[in-house]
Amino acid sequence: MATKLLLTFAICRLIVTVGLTLDPTELLLLGVDAQLSVDPTDVKTASLDFGLLTGAQPPLAVMHPASSQDVAQLVKAAYGSNFGFTVSARGHGHSINGQAQTANGVVVQMSGSKGGSGVASGRKPPHPRVWPQERFVDVWGGELWIDVLRSTLQHGLAPKSWTDYLYLSVGGTLSNAGISGQAFNHGPQISNVHELDVVTGKGELLTCSEEQNSEMFHAVLGGLGQFGIITRARISLEPAPQRIAMRDFFNFPSTSYCQNLKGKVRWIRVLYSNFLTFTRDQEYLISLHEQPASQKFDYVEGFVIVDEGLINNWRSSFFSPHNPVKISSLEPNGGVLYCLEIAKNYHESTASTMDQEVESLLKKLNFIPASVFTTDMPYVDFLDRVHKAELKLRSKGLWEVPHPWLNLFVPKSKIADFDKGVFKGILGNKTSGPILIYPMNKNK
């Protein structure tokens, strides 16, 4: 089985930059002034991103588009301008190095357009449209994945592949890849797209798919925003673990709706002191992707623990604070531990066989004995787990800080060298940030 491991040292969700230097008077001639904002709050927000690593000059204006045509009109004006000016698309602001910023240009605020302070016309982008029989959903490029989940669950459906964090824009993650623990089974998010609407660098609006404008379709998916702005995506869906009673769901993020959830997730973490054993077990689990649901996990991920405090930090709040895990007690190899994170979806009709199915899978793994940590939770709570950690960090003033981040694809043949040189070498116990390992099937 050909595999690759994706190691992520942070979140990088950028969208686009196209364009040319701006004469401010041209803003008045664009014909989209009802969607343009020079409000200081909008401008300041558009000059920042999740990384907080760059100090870019603010844009001259922020556009809050209500349609693909709005975006196309702006980009076409930039392309045909005698003076020229830059246009950059911004989702929910999770770029790292200012990729969605543009000094003295116009930032297209794709997310938040439904309530942006600069929207004078009252027009808003379209809401997600779910096609239950066909099992796909059409969504605005700036829609957040958490809102896609809300819409699809009303029909008992959900996207197949996720990111760990759901408050990211659809266009942003599709411009990268969109990877989480489901990627071994369904591929990343970009492998689960039927169709796109894209605004090119010339301001043309194209619909593209495998059959129509296929070159553009494949260029834009994972293209880091270099080939166009995604304004609509048609996302593949599958049945959610079980249809959810929606009475309290739209009070989200209130957890009161959880009482109505029947779909659940068995979330398991096991520990390793030997890296080769850890990766061998990851590779075995992702090799089961073609097996029936009862014979595989739905989610396979992992992380590296190089600091005594990390195993019990926000990322690992899963472990009981009353029974903290001590690295030293587990005899780590070179001071490093590895956590395999796995999950299995179930609902009331399959709950009776869950223990047996999990036990059968765990018996084939070689983790440290007595290092199994298990919890059951509602399906939506599991998908939204990182946001709950975000709220904790925000309450402590630890979220709005610089976020250096690096994503790497490492082939199976080099991962042991990477462990020796980076995890046990360069990093040692010098970092307290998350180091995530996503095992992936190359053919996905």
List the catalytic residues. Answer: 94, 164, 301
Q: Please, is 15 exposed, middle or buried when counting C-beta atoms within 10 Å of its C-beta (0-12, 13-18, 19+)? A: buried
Single-letter amino acid code for the residue at 257 = Y
Can you tell me whether residue 262 is helix, strand or coil? coil
| CA distances to 9, 170, 282, 400, 409 from 391, in Å | 20, 22, 30, 11, 30
Query: DSSP character for 168?
Result: S
DSSP labels for 9-63? SS--B----EE----GGGGGGSS-GGGEE--HHHHHHHT--TT----PPPPSEEE
Query: In what helix (H) or strand (E) does residue 136 lie, and over which residues does it extend?
Result: strand 136-140
Q: In what order do the strands lie in the sheet with 106-109?
A: 18-19, 86-90, 106-109, 61-63, 36-37
Residue 86 and residue 78: Cα distance in Å, rounded? 7
Residue 138 and residue 130: Cα distance in Å, rounded? 6
Token pair for residue 182? 């489901």
